[in-house]
Structure 1
Amino acid sequence: MVAKSATLVMNEMMQHAVAQGRSVINLGFGEAGLPVMPELRKILSADSARNAYPAVQGSYAVRNALSGYFTRRGIPADADHCLMAPGSKALLFALLQALKGDVVLSRPSWVTYAAQSHMLNKHCVWVDAPESAGGVPDPKLLVSALDSARRAGQNPTTLLLTSPDNPSGTVAGRTVIEQLVHIAKEQNLAIISDEIYRDLAYDQVNFVSPAQLAPERTFVTTGLSKSMALGGWRIGAALFPQNAWGDAVMQEVIGTASEIWSGMPIFLEPVAEYCFSEPSDVLQWVNESRQLHQRVSNEIHHIMVDAGASCRKPSGAFYIYPTFHDSEFAHRLGVSEDESLSHELFERFGIAVLPGSAFGDLPQRMGLRVVTSMMYGTDDESRMETMRMADPLQAPSVKDGLERVHEVFAGVPSNR
C-alpha cells in the first residue's frame, strides 16, 4: 500500500489544528510562503478561456523559453529536448519508470524519491550525505555502497541528486558535484538532477549543476512552485540529454505522459513562458524572495544551534535540518527518536515539523525538517510587505514566529 505523503499529511494536520482554534507555528509544510506575482495573475486571467487539449510535450513557445532558461545557466538545451508537465513530481515518476534499475539516494532526501521508487518496485540504495551539504550522497561512500548493492543482487543505475535540497536547505559545492559526476561516468549511472530550488541558492554565481559537467547523462527536472511560489499551479519541466539515449528516454516519458496526464494545463503555458523567459520583473521577484528566505533561514539556524543541535548552515531555499542526537534539548523533552520529538513539539508547543525518518534518515539521529517560509504573514498583503521590508525579521508574523520558536528551543515552558 502506498501511504499518503508525510508532507501532505502535515499540511492537513496543520489545517485541522487551525480550524480547531489552536495557536500553531507551521514549520512543517514546504510551500514558498509568498503571494503570486501580480503580473502572472494578469497573464492567467487573459488566457483563462483557453480550454483545448495541449500538446503533450508543451507548446514550442514555452519549450523554447525553457531551453533559453537552461542555456543561460550553462546547460546545453534546445526546445526539442524540453518537456512540460503538471508539476515536477509527475516528471520524476515518469523518468524513474523509464530509467530501468535501482536508485541511489542521499540519506536523508525528499520523501517523494523513495516513495516513487518503491511504487515502481525499485530498490533504494541509501548513502549518507557529506558533511558539506545534503541532497547528494557522499562521494567517499558512494562506490562502496554501489558495490554492496550489486553484491546483494540490486542493480543501481540512477543517481538522484537535488541542490539546494529538501530537507537541509544546502547546496552541494563544485568539488562534490565533480566527484559524483566522475563516479557516474565510471559506473555508467544516469543522473537525475532535481533543480526545483536552483534559483533559490543563495550564491548563484558559484552554483554548479551536473548537467553542466555531464550533459550527455543528466536529466534535469524543475518547476515554478518554489522560485515563483506557484505550488498549486502545478507547472513542471524537464530537460533531456541531446543524444540517442536521451531521445529514447524522452519518448518513453512522453508516452507515459500521453496516457496519464496528457499535458500541463494549456492556460498556464503563457505563465510558464513568461517566467522561463526571465524578464526583469521575474528576476527581481526571485531575487527578493531569495533574500527573504536566506534572512529568515539563517535566523532559525542560529536558534537551533544555540539549542544544541548539529545543523548545516543553510545555503539555499527555505529549509534547515537540525539533528538533536544526545542533546540536552532532547533529554529535557524525554525523547530518544525523531517521531517522538516532532510529536512533542506539536502537542506541547504547537510547533509543526517533520521527523527526519520521513526523509529516510535514521530515527536515532533525531533529525527535524524545519520549513522557514510559512511565517511571512497570514494573507497576501502581509506576505508582500514582509518580502519588501529592509529587515523582514521585524515583520509582525516573522517576529512572533521567531519568538515562539526561540521560547521553545531555549527551554521556556509553554502550554500552547
Structure 2
Amino acid sequence: MRRTGQGVREAAGGYWARRGLPTGPAQVAVAPGAPVLLLAVLAAAGTGTAAGTGTPAGTGAALGSVLLPHPCVPWCAEQARLLGRAVHTVPVPAESGGTPDPFALLEAVRRSRGAGETPQVLVLSVADEVTGTAPPPELLHEVCEAAVAEGLLVVSDETWRDISYDPHDTVIVSPAEMLTEAGRADHVVVLAGLDAAFDAMFEAPFEERRGAGRSVPRRPGPPPGIARFPDTGRGKLLGERVREMLAALRAELPGPVAAAAAEALGEPAELRARRSATARLHGGLARALHRSVTGAGALCRPPHLGRHLYADLDPFRPRLAARGITDAAGLEAELVRRLGPYAVGGHRFGDDPKELRVRLTTELLTAAVPATAVPAAARGAAEPDAAGHPVDTERHQQAVEPDPGELPGVPEALSRVQSVLVDLTDGSPQ
C-alpha cells in the first residue's frame, strides 16, 4: 500500500508540474475523496496557529471559523461543521461563482471576529461545480489579496479545472500560482478530486452505454482526492499533520484505486482525448440549455465548464408565489415533478432558502438521446489518412462531431425545459 501511495503522490507531482506548480511527492497527500481531505486539512489547520498570526487557533472561543462562497458544494460546509467550526457563507459576485465577492469577504471576516471567532480558512473553487463558471483571474487576485491580508489559509478546490469547454477562452489560474509569485505560497493549499479523470477513464460513451462497441473497465471505486501543500516550513508542517490524521483514520486507497489514480494523473493520450471530447459534448449541451433557460426569462451565468448551470427565477417571484412556489425547496420539487431528477434547489448549496434559485444539469439532455444516436466524440481514434499518415484525433473529432444541441432527442428536451419555465412563470420567451 505504501508503494502504491507513493506512486500516486509522484504522479500528482507531475500533474501539478504540468500546470505550472512544481511539486514533490512530499508535498502531496492522498485520500479516498476530496471531502475526506478537506476534513483533514481543516482539522490540521486548527491545531497550530491562525494563519499569518501568532495566536493559537482551534481552541475555546477562538475556534477557527471557515468562510465559503455561496452557492457552494454541500460537502465543504459539512466537513467544517463536523469539526465544530463556525461556517460563514459569502455571496459570489455577478461575474462568476466559486469565489466570494472580495468586499463581502472582508465584511464576513469582520463579523466573525466580532462574534469572538478567529477567521481561519477560506475555501474557494477556481472551477465551480455548482454554477459551471470560473472566476476571472483579476477577481481571483483580489480575493486572494484580501484573504492573505486577513491571515486566512486559502483552500483552492480545483476538481473540475480540466473540464473547461474552451481552454483557450476560459483562463483558469490557481491561487497557488498567484500567491507563490507574490512570495506568499504558505497561504494556500490546493485540493482536487479525480472525478473528471475517473469519468474519462471509466464512464461509458453513448454507444458503449447502450450495449455496442468495446466496453470500458469497471470503476475500481470512488474517485480519490489529492492535496498539494506549499514547499515552506508552514506548508510542510501542515502536510505532515494531514498525513498523520489520514493514517490514524486508516484513510488509505485500495490498491486498484491507487493504481487507477496514478494512471489518471499521468494523463495518457487516450484519457486526454476522451476528457476533451467529454468537455466539448457537455459544453455544447450546457450552452444550449443556457439558451433555453435565459430564453424563458430566467437569469443565469453563461457556463464555462463542468455539467451544471445555475438559474435564478427570483424575478418571477410574484408569478411563482401565485402557484404556491415561494422558496428554493418548492421550486426544486416542482421542477423535479415536471423535468425529472435534474434540478436541485439553491438551498442545498448554502444560498438563502427563500431565493428562487436552482441548479440544472446537462444530464437532463443526455438522458433524452436515443440508443441509435452515437456522437463522434464517443468513438475511438481516427483512422490514418489515404497516404497512411496519422490523423490528429482531437482535431478530427472536432471536425466530425455533430452539434451536441442537435443530437436526436436534445432539441425536444430543450423545448420542454423552456416550455416548463414559461408555463411556471406565466411569461413568454424573450
- TM bin (shorter chain): 0.7 to 0.9
Q: 1:147 to 1:196 in 2, by over 3 A?
A: same
Q: Which residue of structure 2 lines up, in the alignment, with residue 70 of structure 1?
A: 16
Q: Which residue of structure 2 lines up, in the alignment, with residue 368 of structure 1?
A: 358
Matches of 1:274 and 1:348, distance apart in 2: 41
Deviation, 1:111, is 0.8
Q: 1:350 to 1:332 in 2, by over 3 A?
A: farther
Matches of 1:290 and 1:370, distance apart in 2: 17
Q: Mapping of 1:23-102 within 5 angstroms? A: 54-55=1-2, 59-100=5-46, 101-102=64-65
Say if 2:157 is the partner of 1:194.
yes
Q: Which residue of structure 2 lines up, in the alignment, with residue 41 of structure 1?
A: none
Deviation digits for residues 326-376 of structure 1, max 9, x if unmatched?
A: 317635643121111111222355454111011110123211011213542
Say if 2:99 is the partner of 1:110.
no
Alignment root-mean-square deviation, CA: 2.5
- The residue type paired with residue 357 of structure 1 is H
Q: Which residue of structure 1 lines up, in the alignment, with residue 114 of structure 2?
A: 151
Q: Mapping of 1:285-296 within 5 angstroms? A: 285-296=274-285
Say if 2:175 is the partner of 1:210.
yes
- Partner of 1:75, secondary structure, is coil
Matches of 1:378 and 1:287, distance apart in 2: 22
Deviation, 1:289, is 0.9
Q: Which residue of structure 2 lines up, in the alignment, with residue 395 of structure 1?
A: 407
Q: 1:374 to 1:62 in 2, by over 3 A?
A: farther
Q: Which residue of structure 2 lines up, in the alignment, with residue 409 of structure 1?
A: 421
Matches of 1:265 and 1:242, distance apart in 2: 28
Deviation, 1:176, is 1.1
Say if 2:195 is the partner of 1:225.
yes
Matches of 1:113 and 1:382, distance apart in 2: 40
Matches of 1:325 and 1:262, distance apart in 2: 43
Matches of 2:13 and 2:30, distance apart in 1: 11
- Partner of 1:410, secondary structure, is helix
Matches of 1:269 and 1:287, distance apart in 2: 23
Q: 1:261 to 1:302 in 2, by over 3 A?
A: farther
2:133/2:304 contact within 8 Å kept: yes
Deviation digits for residues 280-319 of structure 1, max 9, x if unmatched?
A: 2121111111111211111111111122211111111111
- The residue type paired with residue 257 of structure 2 is L
Deviates more, 1:174-183 or 1:76-85: 76-85
Deviation digits for residues 201-259 of structure 1, max 9, x if unmatched?
A: 23434211101112322111112213441685322211111112112211221122112
Matches of 1:168 and 1:201, distance apart in 2: 13
Q: Mapping of 1:226-305 within 5 angstroms? A: 226-229=196-199, 232-305=221-294
- The residue type paired with residue 226 of structure 1 is A
- The residue type paired with residue 285 of structure 2 is V
Q: 1:382 to 1:91 in 2, by over 3 A?
A: farther
Q: Which residue of structure 2 lines up, in the alignment, with residue 47 of structure 1?
A: none
2:368/2:410 contact within 8 Å kept: no
1:310/1:323 contact within 8 Å kept: yes
Say if 2:162 is the partner of 1:173.
no
Q: 1:96 to 1:258 in 2, by over 3 A?
A: same
Q: 1:134 to 1:273 in 2, by over 3 A?
A: same
Q: 1:382 to 1:58 in 2, by over 3 A?
A: farther
Deviation, 1:324, is 0.8
1:197/1:227 contact within 8 Å kept: no
Q: 1:58 to 1:189 in 2, by over 3 A?
A: farther
Q: 1:363 to 1:396 in 2, by over 3 A?
A: same
Q: 1:150 to 1:383 in 2, by over 3 A?
A: farther
Matches of 1:79 and 1:197, distance apart in 2: 22
Q: Which residue of structure 2 lines up, in the alignment, with residue 119 of structure 1?
A: 82
2:282/2:362 contact within 8 Å kept: yes
Deviation, 1:59, is 2.9
Deviation, 1:268, is 2.2
2:72/2:349 contact within 8 Å kept: yes
What TM-score comes out, normalization by structure 2 length? 0.77
Segments of structure 2 that go 5 or more residues without pairing to the other structure are 47-63, 180-184, 203-218, 379-400, 426-430
Matches of 1:260 and 1:202, distance apart in 2: 38
- Partner of 2:196, secondary structure, is coil
Q: 1:397 to 1:241 in 2, by over 3 A?
A: farther
1:200/1:227 contact within 8 Å kept: no
Matches of 1:352 and 1:372, distance apart in 2: 8
What TM-score comes out, normalization by structure 1 length? 0.80
- The residue type paired with residue 347 of structure 1 is R
Aligned residues between the structures:
359
2:147/2:154 contact within 8 Å kept: yes
Structure with greater contact order relative to length (CA < 8 Å, sep ≥ 6): 1
Segments of structure 1 that go 5 or more residues without pairing to the other structure are 1-53
1:58/1:83 contact within 8 Å kept: no
Deviation, 1:187, is 1.4
2:328/2:346 contact within 8 Å kept: yes
Q: 1:133 to 1:139 in 2, by over 3 A?
A: same
Matches of 2:374 and 2:252, distance apart in 1: 32
